[in-house]
Amino acid sequence: MKIHRRGMLAGSVALLHGAMARAQTPASIASGQLWPDDRGLHINAHGGGVLHHQGRYWWYGEHKVAGDAGNRAQVGVHVYSSADLMHWRDEGICLSVSHQPGDDLEAGCILERPKVLFDPQSKRFVMWFHLELKGQGYASARAGVAVAEQPQGPFTYLRSARVNPGVWPINATPEDCQAGTKLARDFSGGQMCRDMTLFVDDDGRAYHIYASEDNQTLQIAELAPDLTRHSGRYARILPGLANEAPALFKHDGRYFLIASGTTGWAPNPARLYVADNLFGPWQAHGNPVRGTPEQMATTFGGQSTFILPIKTANGTQRLIFMADIWQPKNAIDGRYIWLPIDWEDGLPVLRWTKGWTP
């Protein structure tokens, strides 16, 4: 079944979604609303990220189906493209699950938070994602990799594994390495990888940031030059603070990380961290949300997934905070929050912004 472009499966899922999903393409970004693509169907790219490539934006995310089944991967990774970040063309399923029993990507596995980078050397697109093997809940905690020749795919699955087996992080203390720690427990098999994102620094080096050590500690691992492997250099950051949903950006030479707490699909207050060095130390700066107590307690009902830097006409950088409003009982109905990042006393803040234009 080839569902790479304008997938028929995507179409039938849209029908499941019903007439509710058919609407006009918006002329502004309206967080929390249905967001129709070029066919009038609610965009289906959850836990996603955006790649800017040759003047076009490519939005990759988890394709969800209706009901509880949508919390597992039944179809694959969906990609959309856009010139203006408001009008999105459905480019189909770019990484498909397998229907072969026992395959790593067997339908029913958990495939979350896909992010894609372009490798200027090989001219390939490299996707990383969080993978849980079918039937094992969240115990596998693997990082998956796939590559494609074009941004719309099809992506070919390469492998999945835990991260950096047999390597200690550059900032591990002697106590961290002692038997009994989660880090030491996973030393030989590799570190756990759950919620994740990717980040490319100004010097072109790429990093994989993921919730590890039973979701208690984030790790930042440098990728090798071809982007399909880890280089072996990695650090533990914010140990024991139970952060997930990491989203990272750089502004005026400093690194900013927005993450969430660990409350499953239920929203919780966002957390802001700042560092001068990617490998730390990172400093906590509380909750970046400005608004009502409820908005602050729930991050507007959402959970971070990505921060997209865009260049304005006058060459300055603007940042878009992307988050998911999960609907675990009917996963396909999940909504998106996209907000422009504001600044207050040198720190990024998030305010609910209704119907805005990038």
Binding site residues, ligand DGJ, CB under 6 A: 47, 112-113, 195, 244-245, 264-265, 303
Extract the tokens encoding 52: 């800017």
Q: Of 209 and 245, which has the nearer Cβ to ligand DGJ?
A: 245
Structure tokens at 217: 């500690």
Closest by Cα among 326, 319, 321, 311 to 289? 321
d(CA 51, CA 310): 11
Q: How far is the CB of 176 from ligand DGJ (least distance, A)?
A: 25
Rounded to whole angstroms, the Cα distance separating 15 from 39 reads 12
Least spacing, CB of residue 129 vs ligand DGJ, in Å: 11
Helix ranges (DSSP H) in the chain: 8-17, 182-185, 293-298
Question: What strand order describes the sheet that includes 347-351?
Answer: 289-290, 347-351, 342-344
Q: Which CB atom, from 3 or from 272, has the smaller least distance to ligand DGJ?
A: 272
- Nearer to ligand DGJ by Cβ, of 7 and 47: the residue is 47
Give min distance, CB of 195 to ligand DGJ, in A. Answer: 5
**Closer by beta carbon to ligand DGJ, 331 or else 339:** 331
Instruction: Report which of 75, 95, 94, 77 is spatially closest to residue 5, judged by C-alpha positions.
Output: 94
> Which is closer to ligand DGJ, CB of 3 or CB of 259?
259
| Least gap, CB of 180 to ligand DGJ (angstroms) | 27
When CB distances to ligand DGJ are compared, the closest residue is 264
Q: How far is the CB of 276 from ligand DGJ (least distance, A)?
A: 27
| Cα dist from 91 to 18, 57, 77, 156, whole Å | 21, 12, 11, 16
